[in-house]
A and B are shown apart, each in its own frame.
Chain A
Amino acid sequence: MEYKEILSEAVGTLSVNKLRTGLAVLGIVIGIGSVIALVSLGQASQQMIQSQIESLGSNLLTVQPGAVTQGGVRGAAGGRTSLTLDDAKAIVSSSEITTVKNVSPEVERRTQITTGGNNTNTEIIGVTAAYTEVHKVTIASGNFITQRDVESMTKVAVLGPSVVSDLFGEGANPIGQTVRISGKTFDIVGVTTSKGGTGFMNQDDRIYVPLTTAQKQLFGMNYLSSIALEAVSPEVMTDAQNQVGYFLLARHNLSDPTKADFMIISQQDILNTASTATEIFTALLSGIAAISLLVGGIGIMNIMLVTVTERTREIGLRKALGAKKRVIIMQFLTESIILTFTGGVIGIILGIISSYLIAKSLNFSFVISLSSILLAFVVSAGIGIIFGWYPARKASNLQPIEALRYE
């Protein structure tokens, strides 16, 4: 018998038994679709977490003043006034420091701010133009603080989205309006895009003003709260830490590193935490994929076992009419392949559509990976074909009369 004949017989049998065919296809669709949707959902949340962590600035080093030690009593870190804008400028112009890309000197303090009838308490950060680069801050509307603002000590402010909604209401456009900080009026020139709250640090609840304005007009100080540095790449973080460390020691005329009046905190620590989180997530994802593959696979196995075992009598009849074993097995194998491929393609499409819809409704990014589609398809199709073929082979090994009598 030609293969074309077997194929048309298989298609014929499938189209005659619509309910049975429909159920088998449905089983495979659900098996494959759910794996794809679940894995996609997991990958989307993994990506979300990663981008949240990266939004802190991934190659970030922070130089902070050391603790004040008076008569043997060590105060809180950052209490000293040892870091200055000149330090920051020297790091930028130094030829010894090759691994630092951007330098952002910063001062910060919490203050009450008001506008019209509203007021709120928020973090005021004095920055230079380099801040956006180092901390990966982007502007939603208007402009950020410019170099000219810093040089000419203008009274302009850039608001975080939380501050905007606190003072002006959700979705309002505050650009062109003013805000009063410590009794001084600032023009609002820009709003940053939301980064979301990470941990207990809400990066959206902030107001950025020019560094010089903050130092001279708001806080009345000439030192810095910190200098944030962006390393060229994650690989040179340690080098950058050492270069900046020795450079500042020399600049502050200190020879003993243990007596340093500053400390450098590396983003590496945060990165380590991040990669642990990512590893846990990857394990969780593999678990979800494995369980849904197992559940889907068992579903497919059941429906194939039931439908093919139910057809033992039909196999007996076909043998009684002169079908050879090979022909019967070929027919059932062909039917299983058609079922699993039809179900597989529909399942892939439905899986992609449903993960897209879930991502949309949860405001997640839509991620779909070829490997999860391939894994779901290969495993499910394999199970479908094996359990379509195996009971058919078993039945075709029986004497025709035994198969015909099968209950």
Chain B
Amino acid sequence: MIKVSHLTKIYQMGALETTALSDVSFTVNKGEFVAIMGPSGSGKSTLMHILGALDLPTSGEYVLDGANVEKLTEDELAEIRNSKIGFIFQAYNLLPRTTAMQNVMLPMMYAGIPKKDRLKTARKFLENVGLGDRLTYTSNQLSGGQQQRVAIARALVLNPSILLADEPTGNIAMTQAQEIMAIFEKLNRDGHTIVMITHEHEIAQHAQRIIHLRDGRIVEDNHNHRQKRAKT
């Protein structure tokens, strides 16, 4: 499903070189729920952006569904981001002053799905995350947890191979975070592959497997024996 080998990312800022990732290799299989942990500056966000095809590695190989992502053209990358990857940001990144429906319909528009189908699908996915009564609310009229649920619906709407979440509960109150984790667990049970970044131990406990990063290297990669279930 996901296979990264010897992934390295070096940022060049003027004369200063910063190594964000060095020689990272791991595999994520279909249906897994993986949490990536690490202190800030450990390179976990950089790794996530490369996995999400939002950024390219300096060297190394990234294979997603059998395709070498680092060798794709820009348009092919756009298609990968559109159809194979569902990305959930810490800051939600919804379009401002735009309704929940329109936000969820956006990836479908870029996929060339007819408008009628887009409306139907967007409504279904928003209902699935419990926002059936907030369809025409604009982003600024929704709470943080609700905005993140719109973002989850948007990430899922094209049925991606993998769901990537970058600190999905980072900006959200604890009770709402529990709701988000419940959604992730349900998605995982339904067969979705999920990779999630977090620095909160409690949130990481919901995953089956936890990878620890430090200074751009994997220091630990363990099966989580005490996998927690969200209170629903």
Binding site for B on A (CB under 8 A): 1-2, 5, 9, 12, 16-17, 313-314, 317-327, 399-402, 404
Given contacts A320-B87, A321-B81, A404-B93, contact A327 B54 (CB under 8 A): no
* Contact yes or no, B102 A321, CB < 8 A: no
Q: Which residue of B lies closest to A12 (CB)?
A: B102
Q: How far apart sit A314 and B96, CA to CA, in the bound complex (Å)?
A: 9
**Smallest Cβ distance from B150 to chain A, in angstroms?**
13
Task: Name 20 extra pairs, CB < 8 A, besides A16-B98, A317-B93.
Answer: A1-B109, A2-B112, A17-B97, A313-B93, A314-B95, A321-B154, A322-B79, A322-B81, A322-B83, A322-B110, A322-B111, A323-B78, A324-B78, A325-B74, A327-B110, A399-B56, A400-B81, A401-B49, A401-B54, A404-B93
| Number of residues on chain B facing chain A (CB within 8 A) | 26
Contact of B110 among A12, A313, A323 (CB under 8 A): A323
Given the interface contacts A1-B109, A404-B93, does A320 sit within 8 Å of B52 by beta carbon?
A: yes
Would you call A320 and B75 a contact (CB within 8 A)? no
What's the nearest-Cβ distance from chain A to residue B202, in Å? Answer: 27
CA distance A314 to B97 in the complex (A): 12
Chain A interface mostly helix, strand, loop or mixed?
Answer: helix
Once bound together, how far apart are the Cα atoms of A17 and B82, in whole Å? Answer: 25
**In the complex, what residue of chain B is closest to A6 when comparing beta carbons?**
B109
Residues of B105-134 whose CB lies within 8 A of A = 106-107, 109-112
B contact residues around A401 at 8 Å (CB):
49, 54-55
**B79-100 Cβ-contact flags toward A at 8 Å (1 or 0):** 1011100010100010101100
A-B contact pairs, 27 of them (CB 8 A): A5-B109, A16-B98, A17-B97, A317-B95, A318-B110, A319-B78, A320-B54, A320-B81, A320-B93, A321-B82, A321-B107, A322-B78, A322-B79, A322-B107, A322-B110, A323-B82, A323-B110, A324-B78, A324-B110, A325-B74, A325-B75, A325-B78, A326-B75, A399-B54, A401-B49, A401-B54, A404-B93
Residues of B within 8 A of A323 (CB): 78, 82, 110
Give chain A residues whose Cβ lies under 8 Å from the Cβ of B52. Answer: 320
- Which of B54, B102, B109 contacts A404, CB < 8 Å? B54
- Asked if residues A400 and B109 are in contact (CB atoms below 8 Å), the reply is no
